[in-house]
C-alpha cells in the first residue's frame, strides 16, 4: 500500500527579537493606532493558518523544514523567535523539536566571522542545536555533530531528509597578499589625511570590498555525509531529499549581479546529489518560487539523474504569494511524487489563501540497454536518421517505438538519405514513394508468387471477401472505439501447427484511434505494429503506407483530420543491402502499367512512340538496370528487388517482335539469360559463394544489355 508524508517548508523569514517592519500599508497620514505590520506578526499569523488547515483536515505534519535565514541582516533573535512560533502553533499537529530540520543561511552567520569557527554558528546552535532539532554537519563544530542528528527519517525508512550547510564561507573577509594586507587598513588615512568623515566613508567602502557572501559546501561535509549515507542500511527504495539554503541554479529570470552569486563548487555538489541518489532538493535564499527539474548527467551517459527542485519564496513589502508551503510526498515507495501547496500572506480577517497543488514526479528515468527505445519528432528526416541509428546500434534486435507528429497538410516526402537504387531529383523521389506505396496497397495484386503478402490485399480483401477498412470506417463514424483495428495475419493460411515453414508479413496489425481536440476537429491517430521492421528502407515506406491509410479513413469520417503516426517494431533491423521494399519497376508495371511493356518493346524494335509514355518506359528500363547493377555490386541480400515476374512478362512482349534487328534479337536473348540467372538466384541457398558467382555473371551480362539498350534506344532519342 502506498504511503505518504507531509511537511511544512519555510525559508528566509528574516526575524529578530525586536519587531521588523513589514510595509503592507501606504501610510501618508499618521493616525493613532495605525501602524505597519511586522514580519514577526505575519509569521505568527501564517503558522496559525497552517494549524487551522491541519485541524480542519485532521492531518498531522511529519516535520517542519526550514532552509535558512531566520535572522534579519545578521541580528540575533530570529532563530529563537521562529522556533518558538513553530512549536506554539504546530506542536498539536505532530511537530516536535525532533522533527524540525533547520540549516543556516547567509544572514544567520555573523559578518566577518571566520569559517568553521564557534562564533559563526553560536546563535544557530543555541536555538536549533541546543533544542535537539535536526541540523547539518557543521564545519568545525564537531561537538554538535555528535549531539544532534543530521537526518530526519521516516519510521518505516520510506524517506529521509538531509540538511546541507552552504553558508560556511558567507559574510567572509577574503584573504589578501601580505603586501596589500599591511597597507589595507591605512588606505583611508593615506587617501584623506585631513578629512575624518571621508576616512570613515572610505573605510566602510573598503570593508565592503573585502567581505564576500560566498556560498560553498565543503568537501569535508560532503565526505561526512557520504560516509553517513553509505553506512545506512535503509531500503533501496527510500526517497532521499536534500535541503540547503542556496540554489543550484537561479530559480527565475531575475538577474543578480554580484560576486559569488552561486555555489562555487556547484558541480561537485550536483555530482554528490546524483551519486547519493537524492530525488529532491528544497532551498531558499533567492526569495523566488520555482518548481523545476534539475537533470544531472554523468560523463558519457545520455540518461540523466533527475532532481526535483523546490525553490521556496518568502514575503516582503510587495510579495505575498508563496510565504510558506506544504510539501506532500505521495505514492511511496513505488510511484513517488511531490505536491506543493503555497500559502500567501493575507490581510487579517480574510480566509487563508492556499494555491492549487503543483505536482512533480520523483521516479527516475531508467537506462536499460534492453528496454524499448522511444523516438519522437515532427520531421520525417530527423526521425528517420534517429531510428536508423538506433536500429543499427543500441536498439538492434530490440523494440523501437517511433512517434511522428507530422504536418497533415504537407505531402509526405521520402526522407533525405534514403538509399535509392538510382539517383533521382526531389519530385521523382516523392513520385517513387507514392508508386511503391500504391503497389503495396493494391487490393488484388497479380504478382503473389514473388510477393505473397502485399498489405493492401490483406486489408481490403481479407480472405478474398472482406474489406477491413470499411469496417473501421463504420465503427468510427458511430463513435470513438478501441476496436478500430485491422489484422494482416491470417492464422489459417499463415501458421502451421509446429511453426515450421511459416512465411507471413512483418506488418501484423494496424489500429486507428480518434483523439478529441478542444476547439478543433478530432484527430485520427494510427498505430502500426510490426513483428520485425527494417528501418533503413522499409520504415519510410511503412510510414507512408500508414499516412495513406489515415487519409483514406479520415476522408470518410466526419470532422476528422489526420494525426499522429506511431510505429511499434518488435524486432528492429537496419540493412545495408537493398531489401524487398523497393519493388522493381518491371514488377510494378506488371500490376499497375502493363502498357509500358508494349511501349518499351515497340521502341526497342525501332517503332516510334512520341507521347510521354516513351519517356516513362525508357526511364523505367534504365532504372531496372541500375537496380540490378546496385544489387550485384553490394553485399549479399535475401530481399533485393529482382524482377522475376516483370522480366517474364517483358520477354513475352519481346518474343512477339523477334526479328526486328540483329541487335534486337541479341537484346532478347540477353534478357532471357538475365531472367534465368535471376530465377536461379531466387531459388539458391543464397550463400556467400553462390552470391559471388551470381554477381560476377550478372554484372557481365548487365554490361552487355546496357550496351545493346544504348544502341537500340539512344539513336531514337537523339533523332
Question: Is the pTM of the predicted complex or chain greater than 0.95?
Answer: no
Q: Which residues, other chains included, contact 463 with Cβ-Cβ below 8 Å and sequence gap of 6+? A: 490
Q: What is the mean pLDDT of residues 350-377?
A: 88
Is the pLDDT at 66 greater than 70, yes or no? yes
In angstroms, the CA 518 to CA 248 distance is 38
Q: What is the mean pLDDT of residues 146-175?
A: 92
Nearest to 331 by CA among 2, 700, 677: 2
Residue 227 three-state SS: helix
The whole-number pLDDT of residue 632 equals 80
Using pLDDT thresholds of 50, 70 and 90, give the confidence band for residue 686: low
Instruction: Name the one residue in this structure whose C-alpha cell is 560553498.
Output: 216
Q: What pLDDT does 2 receive?
A: 67
Alpha carbon distance 541, 271 (integer Å): 45
Residue 93 or 448, more confident:
93
Q: Which of 17, 16, 112 is nearest to 71 (CA)?
A: 16
User: Which pLDDT does position 640 carry in this prediction?
Assistant: 56
- Predicted confidence at residue 449, as pLDDT, reads 54
- Over residues 167-190, mean pLDDT: 91
pLDDT value, residue 500: 84
C-alpha separations of 56 from 5, 50, 59 in Å:
17, 10, 8
Say yes or no to pLDDT of 145 above 60: no
Mean pLDDT of the chain: 89
pLDDT tens-digit map of 201-246: 998 999 889 999 999 999 999 999 999 998 776 667 799 999 999 9
Domains of the chain: 3-23+34-168+219-361 (3.60.21.10), 173-215 (no CATH), 373-573 (3.30.572.10), 585-718 (1.20.120)
**Residue % of the chain over a pLDDT of 70:** 93
Q: Alpha-carbon distance 362 to 493, whole Å?
A: 49
Q: How many angstroms separate the CA atoms of 281 and 304, rounded?
A: 16
pLDDT single digits (tens) 607-657: 888 778 898 899 889 888 887 887 787 655 545 567 888 899 999 999 888
Is the pLDDT assigned to residue 555 strictly greater than 50? yes
Q: Which of the pair, 146 or 520, is modelled with greater confidence?
A: 520
What's residue 290's pLDDT?
95
Give the three cell numbers for residue 346. Answer: 493575507
Quickly state the pLDDT bin for 24 (edges 50, 70, 90): confident
pLDDT above 70: residue 468: yes
Report yes or no: 709 and 626 within 8 Å, Cβ to Cβ. no
Long-range contacts from 540-544, C-beta under 8 angstroms, 24+ separation: 540/380, 540/384, 540/414, 540/415, 540/418, 540/433, 541/433, 541/436, 541/437, 541/440, 541/581, 542/507, 542/567, 543/380, 543/402, 543/404, 543/412, 543/567, 544/412, 544/433, 544/434, 544/436, 544/437
- Across the range 295-302, mean pLDDT stands at 89
Average pLDDT over residues 290-303: 91
* Confidence at residue 638, expressed as pLDDT on a 0 to 100 scale: 47
- CA-nearest of 576, 574, 569, 573 to 375 is 569
**What pLDDT was estimated at residue 626?**
84
Residue 50, all three cell numbers: 497552517
Per DSSP, the residues of 82-121 read HHHHHHHHHGGGT--GGGEEE---GGGS-TTPPTT-TGGG
Q: Where are the beta strands (DSSP E) in 438-585?
A: 485-487, 507-515, 522-530, 533-534, 560-569, 572-573
Amino acid at each position: 500500500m502506498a504511503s505518504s508524508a507531509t511537511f511544512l517548508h519555510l525559508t528566509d523569514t528574516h526575524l529578530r527579537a525586536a519587531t521588523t517592519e513589514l510595509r503592507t500599508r501606504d501610510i501618508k497620514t499618521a493616525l493613532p493606532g495605525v501602524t505597519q505590520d511586522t514580519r514577526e506578526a505575519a509569521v505568527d499569523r501564517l503558522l496559525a493558518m497552517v494549524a487551522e488547515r491541519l485541524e480542519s483536515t485532521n492531518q498531522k505534519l511529519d516535520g517542519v523544514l526550514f532552509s535558512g535565514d531566520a535572522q534579519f541582516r545578521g541580528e540575533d533573535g530570529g532563530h529563537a523567535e521562529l522556533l518558538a512560533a513553530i512549536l506554539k502553533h504546530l506542536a498539536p499537529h505532530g511537530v516536535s523539536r525532533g522533527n524540525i530540520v533547520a540549516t543556516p543561511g547567509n544572514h544567520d552567520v555573523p559578518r566577518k566571522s571566520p569559517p568553521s569557527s564557534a562564533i559563526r554558528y553560536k546563535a544557530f546552535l543555541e536555538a536549533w542545536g541546543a533544542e535537539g532539532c535536526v541540523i547539518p554537519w557543521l564545519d568545525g563544530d564537531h561537538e554538535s555533530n555528535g549531539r544532534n542528528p543530521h537526518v530526519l527519517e521516516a519510521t518505516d525508512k520510506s524517506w529521509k531528509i538531509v540538511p546541507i550547510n552552504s553558508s560556511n564561507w558567507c559574510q567572509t573577509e577574503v584573504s589578501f597578499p601580505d603586501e596589500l594586507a599591511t597597507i589595507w587598513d591605512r588606505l583611508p588615512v593615506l587617501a584623506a589625511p585631513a578629512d575624518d568623515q571621508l576616512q570613515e566613508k572610505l573605510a566602510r567602502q573598503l570593508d565592503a570590498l573585502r567581505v564576500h557572501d560566498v556560498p560553498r559546501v565543503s568537501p569535508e561535509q560532503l565526505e561526512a555525509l557520504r560516509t553517513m549515507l553509505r553506512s545506512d542500511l535503509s531500503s533501496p527504495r527510500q526517497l532521499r531529499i536534500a535541503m540547503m539554503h542556496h540554489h543550484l541554479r537561479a530559480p527565475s529570470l531575475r538577474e543578480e549581479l554580484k560576486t559569488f552569486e552561486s555555489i562555487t563548487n556547484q558541480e561537485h555538489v550536483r555530482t554528490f546529489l546524483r551519486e547519493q541518489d537524492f530525488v529532491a532538493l528544497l532551498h531558499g535564499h533567492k526569495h523566488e518560487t520555482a518548481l523545476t527539474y534539475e537533470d544531472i548527467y554523468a560523463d558519457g551517459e545520455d540518461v540523466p539523474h533527475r532532481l526535483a527542485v523546490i525553490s521556496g519564496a518568502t514575503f516582503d513589502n510587495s510579495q505575498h504569494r508563496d510565504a510558506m508551503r506544504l510539501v506532500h510526498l505521495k505514492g511511496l515507495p513505488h510511484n513517488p511524487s511531490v505536491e506543493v501547496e503555497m500559502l500567501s500572506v493575507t490581510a487579517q480577517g480574510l480566509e487563508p489563501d492556499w494555491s492549487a497543488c503543483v505536482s512533480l514526479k520523483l521516479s527516475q528515468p531508467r537506462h536499460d540497454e534492453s528496454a524499448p527505445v522511444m523516438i519522437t519528432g515532427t520531421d520525417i528526416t530527423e526521425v528517420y536518421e534517429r531510428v536508423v541509428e538506433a536500429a543499427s546500434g543500441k536498439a538492434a534486435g530490440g523494440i523501437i517505438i517511433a512517434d511522428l507528429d507530422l504536418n497533415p497538410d504537407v505531402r509526405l516526402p521520402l526522407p533525405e538519405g534514403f538509399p535509392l537504387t538510382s539517383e533521382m531529383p526531389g519530385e521523382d523521389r516523392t513520385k517513387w514513394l507514392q508508386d511503391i506505396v500504391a503497389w503495396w496497397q493494391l487490393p488484388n495484386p497479380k504478382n503473389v508468387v514473388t510477393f505473397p503478402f502485399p498489405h493492401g490485399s490483406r486489408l481490403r480483401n481479407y480472405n478474398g471477401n472482406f474489406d477491413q477498412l470499411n469496417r473501421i470506417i463504420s465503427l468510427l463514424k458511430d463513435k470513438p472505439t478501441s476496436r478500430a483495428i485491422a489484422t494482416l495475419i491470417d492464422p489459417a493460411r499463415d501458421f502451421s501447427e509446429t511453426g515450421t515453414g511459416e512465411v507471413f508479413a512483418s506488418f501484423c496489425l494496424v489500429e486507428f484511434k480518434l483523439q478529441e481536440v478542444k476547439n478543433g476537429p478530432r484527430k485520427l491517430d494510427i498505430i502500426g505494429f510490426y513483428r520485425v521492421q527494417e528501418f533503413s528502407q522499409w520504415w519510410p515506406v511503412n510510414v507512408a503506407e500508414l499516412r495513406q491509410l489515415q487519409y483514406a479513413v479520415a476522408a470518410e469520417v466526419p470532422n476528422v483530420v489526420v494525426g499522429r503516426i506511431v510505429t511499434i517494431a518488435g524486432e528492429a533491423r537496419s540493412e545495408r543491402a537493398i531489401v524487398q521494399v523497393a519493388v522493381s519497376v518491371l514488377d510494378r508495371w506488371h500490376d499497375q502499367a502493363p502498357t509500358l511493356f508494349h511501349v518499351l518493346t515497340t521502341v526497342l524494335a525501332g517503332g516510334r512512340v512520341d507521347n510521354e509514355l516513351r519517356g516513362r518506359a525508357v526511364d523505367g528500363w534504365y532504372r531496372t538496370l541500375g537496380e540490378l547493377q546496385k544489387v550485384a555490386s553490394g553485399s549479399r541480400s535475401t530481399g533485393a528487388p529482382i524482377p522475376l515476374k516483370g522480366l517474364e512478362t517483358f520477354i513475352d512482349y519481346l518474343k512477339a517482335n523477334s526479328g526486328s534487328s540483329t541487335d534486337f534479337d541479341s537484346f532478347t536473348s540477353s534478357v532471357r539469360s538475365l531472367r534465368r540467372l535471376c530465377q536461379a538466384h531466387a531459388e539458391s541457398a543464397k550463400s556467400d559463394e553462390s552470391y559471388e558467382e551470381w554477381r560476377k555473371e550478372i554484372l557481365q551480362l548487365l554490361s552487355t544489355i546496357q550496351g545493346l539498350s544504348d544502341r537500340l534506344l539512344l539513336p531514337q532519342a537523339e533523332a
